[in-house]
Structure 1
Amino acid sequence: MAATGEQTEVEASAPRRELLLVTGMSGAGRSTVGNALEDLGWYVVDNLPPQMLRPLVDLSRHTGDTIPRVAAVVDIRGGRLFADVQEALESLRGTDDTRVLFLDATDAALVRRFESVRRPHPLQGDGTLLDGITAERARLAELREQSDIVIDTSELNIHQLSVLIHDQFSTVGDPAIRVTVMSFGYKYGLPSDADHVADCRFLPNPFWIPELKGRTGLETEVSDYVLGLPGAQEFIDGYVEALRPVLDGYGRENKRHATIALGCTGGKHRSVAMAEELKARLSVLPGLAVSVKHRDLGRE
């Protein structure tokens, strides 16, 4: 009994979890919603059997604050397992911040989407697309009535639905865009995943200064030298201002990740120092989570 009491006390002191059950009609946008939630930092599990909802929540409790927001996509793909969704949901109500998001769309919109991807409806069997949609709508009617949020996606494209989810489920402190500032060496090739590339080879190369040759742009001696060169500060000032409207536009267009690459000859001195400075400048801008990566640092 003592052990049970101790466990209850620990559970009572555990932080409340935010659990979002994503369900609804096939073709209404569940995958798009899952991707948008992942971009917001949610831990998303797709096609989860309802019987696994409680173990998933219990597992997230053991992670401390690592996984505070969990989204589970549960739908009729679970077959017979889906029949227990009501019971599983009731067991979670009141224990955590549990909500149900139901995605819906008109029959015409769903038929159009299935035809565009040339896939059958999960419940279609030997019947028509409309037969499958009708059967699914009947099975989900009660769950729809109990849902906390219902979104009709009939007139929404993928981009519009993603923006709506971001607006609905982002919280204070969530970055609108995650920016990676990358340094690289041109002699090793351009980074294939860069959205923007800037060339730092307009600055004198510290490689030709004996006392700096063996150092890197992460060291104060090299950084101070590079940032003190004519044109270095003017470049950084202008580049930050040029990136402001670009990053704002990315936010409006639901582009949540951006990679900005700065290159020099070997990716050791100039680009490293400039990347660190750009990261520091961008980090103070609202709505950005900025990290830095030095792709070629350490390569011969």
Structure 2
Amino acid sequence: MLVILLNCVTLGMFRPCEDIACDSQRCRILQAFDDFIFAFFAVEMVVKMVALGIFGKKCYLGDTWNRLDFFIVIAGMLEYSLDLQNVSFSAVRTVRVLRPLRAINRVPSMRILVTLLLDTLPMLGNVLLLCFFVFFIFGIVGVQLWAGLLRNRCFLPENFSLPLSVDLERYYQTENEDESPFICSQPRENGMRSCRSVPTLRGEGGGGPPCGLDYEAYNSSSNTTCVNWNQYYTNCSAGEHNPFKGAINFDNIGYAWIAIFQVITLEGWVDIMYFVMDAHSFYNFIYFILLIIFSLSEIFSSQDKSCREGIVI
């Protein structure tokens, strides 16, 4: 048990980004401890195999927890063999984080608790099935209604010609374009935000008064003319980027599930709702309210069932 606790401490002290070459004294000390711990676990496994036998109902591999120990030791052997051949296989290195799980087999009360938790997993099948149907139905509705709409931006007209001394973006961009873009509603939709509501350009780098002049008043030989170039972003059409680095959208069922998952966690769901309402319709809030009600009702019903089963036990 002390060796397992020591292993937890050494694993927590490793710095993967700094210890790639393991040149520091701290890294070499930790590596020495790790070698000792692996050797201890390997010797323990061999002793148990000799004492209990390997195969059979009451032998070493007949116990589930011993099979976990066996897997961890074999993965460690594979890691060391790859190191000797100068082969980098980081996926094998991640198995070492399972070593603290060996403590479960050493503490009887913890082992009983984990066994009970594993026995209750089949009871969650109906809950997971219902969650899948909720995700699937709401995901299909989201894709059918809003596929591609969160890419909508206000572009300059195709025939709009700019003076050579003026450099404008292809579409209107806010100061925080990635997390709070200006998503517009195309003419065929009934969204809450159109290109007519693009904010007026302000002078002096955005901190001055609003610019009220038109294109005709622009003077290329002077920088004193304040033209509201934002008023020419009038063409609402689909662009290339979705909000939050492309992670939030309903372009396909996979991305729709990601958005639905964020909504039911109640973290940032209001922003997603506003994006959809701006691009499609004010009444889209009904979708998000129903989704949250379904998810909360499922959580409460699961908790109630767990409480009743706890009373029976």
Shorter-chain TM-score bucket reads under 0.3
- TM-score, length-scaled by structure 2: 0.24
**Structure having the larger proportion of residues in helix:** 2
**Structure having the larger proportion of residues in strand:** 1
Based on CA coordinates, which of the two structures has the bigger radius of gyration? 2
